[in-house]
């Protein structure tokens, strides 16, 4: 469904040319040295990332702030270009076949922007038209999801008058109008009340049961552990853990795995049962430290 192979994305300072010239002026660098210095200013947001999301997966993508999650997601959906690697969605390259790929998925950012000067129903019609959805099907889906999210009576209001949660619901409905097979979501439950969150989870399961998939980033690890069947963790732009949820959380929790990986400075990739081993070793080390401390205190006494 979604295949990412060796994705690398870097950023260069906006004023790199200015900084290069400044360095040459005050340090008497040669043009070659200045170019090398400028290259060293390059920052990698994602490095050599490979993931595979299969039909039926609800896949959690976790990591600390600044780890590269949003950059990865924006690369998947075609907002960001990337330096190297490939991203294919149901066999369609997001670079070479962007229109075909975008017919398959929907993207919901963490803070969706909608047109405030139109009503909710006008915005939904606009999105449906953009995807070429049959008007009859569009109406059916609009009213189906508006009923689910209790927005039917609010569809004629201007979007500018919507609360944050209502805007999130309209954005969710818009993302479902063309019947996507893949949902790409960035913190999708932010702003939703508990009932709307439950309904959206049910919709995600329905999409997966029909052969689709969900790929979403989150910081709410307890929800991800219960909702998802697979997960991957990214740190400093690199993948550090991935596997099925049962493998990653065997005898531990996703939160414990997350904290152990944050504390580990090594760059090795943890997969499946090795994640369990890492967590168990961490627990043993902590017990040993406590035993050593107790022995030390006893000797001192």
Of 75, 97, 77, give the one whose Cα is nearest residue 85: 75
- Over range 30-53, report the average pLDDT: 72
β partners of residue 108: 185
Radius of gyration of the chain (CA): 23
Nearest to 12 by CA among 50, 44, 55: 44
Contact 233, 240 (CB under 8 A): yes
pLDDT higher than 60, residue 45: yes
- What are the structure tokens assigned to 292, written together? 């050593």
Burial class of residue 41, CB neighbours in 10 A (0-12, 13-18, 19+): middle
Helix (H, G, I), strand (E, B) or coil at 147: helix
For residue 231, the SS3 value is strand
What are the b/e assignments for 263-274, b being 16+ CB within 10 Å?
eeeeeeebbeee
CB neighbours of residue 3 within 10 Å: 16
CB 207 within 8 A of CB 38: no
Summarised one tens digit per residue, pLDDT across range 3-40 is 999 999 988 765 455 555 655 555 555 555 555 555 55
- Section 76-82 average pLDDT: 93
132-175 pLDDT per residue, tens:
999 999 999 999 999 999 999 999 999 999 999 999 999 999 99
Q: How far is residue 241 from each of residues 237, 266, 274, 282, measured CA to CA in Å?
A: 12, 12, 9, 16
247-257 average pLDDT score: 85
When pLDDT is averaged across residues 257-272 and rounded to a whole number, the result is 67
Query: Residue 102: how many CB atoms within 10 A of its CB?
Result: 18
Tell me 268's DSSP state: P
- What three-state secondary structure class fits 155? coil
What is the per-residue pLDDT for 276? Answer: 43
CA 164 – CA 100 distance, rounded (Å): 32
φ/ψ (deg, to 5) at 123: -65, -45
Provide the terminal-to-terminal Cα distance of the chain, rounded to the nearest Å: 63
Structural domains in the chain? 2-104+180-300 (3.40.50.300)
Residue 11 and residue 42 in contact, taking contact as beta carbons nearer than 8 Å: yes
Within a 13 Å sphere around the CA of 151, how many CA atoms are in the beta-carbon half?
32
Tell me the CA distances in angstroms from 50 to 4, 46, 222, 294, one per residue in order. Answer: 5, 10, 25, 45
Position 110 scores a pLDDT of 86
Instruction: Give me the percent of the chain exceeding a pLDDT of 70.
Output: 78
Q: Distance between CA atoms of 182 and 89, rounded to whole angstroms? A: 8
């Amino acid at each position: 469904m979604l295949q990412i192979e060796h994705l690398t994305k870097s950023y260069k300072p906006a004023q790199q040319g200015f900084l290069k010239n400044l360095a040459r002026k005050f340090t008497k660098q040669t043009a070659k040295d200045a170019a090398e210095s400028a290259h060293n200013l390059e920052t990698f947001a994602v490095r050599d990332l490979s993931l595979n999301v299969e039909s039926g997966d609800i896949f959690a993508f976790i990591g600390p702030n600044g780890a590269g999650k949003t950059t990865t997601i924006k690369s998947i959906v075609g907002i960001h270009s990337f330096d190297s690697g490939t991203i294919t969605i149901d066999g369609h390259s997001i670079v070479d076949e962007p229109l075909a790929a975008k017919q398959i998925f929907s993207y919901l950012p963490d803070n969706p922007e909608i047109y405030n000067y139109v009503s909710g129903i006008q915005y939904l019609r606009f999105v449906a038209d953009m995807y070429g959805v049959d008007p009859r099907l569009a109406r059916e889906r609009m009213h189906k999801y508006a009923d689910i999210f209790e927005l039917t009576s609010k569809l004629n209001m201007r979007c500018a008058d919507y609360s944050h949660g209502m805007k999130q619901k309209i954005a969710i409905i818009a993302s479902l109008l063309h019947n996507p097979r893949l949902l790409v979501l960035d913190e999708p439950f932010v702003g939703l009340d508990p009932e709307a969150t439950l309904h959206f989870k049910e919709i995600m399961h329905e999409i997966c049961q029909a052969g689709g998939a969900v790929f979403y980033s989150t910081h709410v690890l307890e929800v991800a552990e219960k909702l998802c069947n697979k997960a991957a963790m990214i740190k400093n732009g690199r993948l550090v853990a991935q596997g099925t949820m049962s493998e990653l959380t065997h005898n531990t929790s996703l939160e414990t795995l997350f904290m152990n990986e944050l504390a580990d400075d090594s760059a090795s990739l943890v997969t499946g049962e090795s994640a369990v081993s890492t967590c168990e070793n961490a627990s043993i080390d902590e017990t040993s430290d406590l035993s050593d401390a107790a022995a030390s205190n006893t000797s001192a006494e």
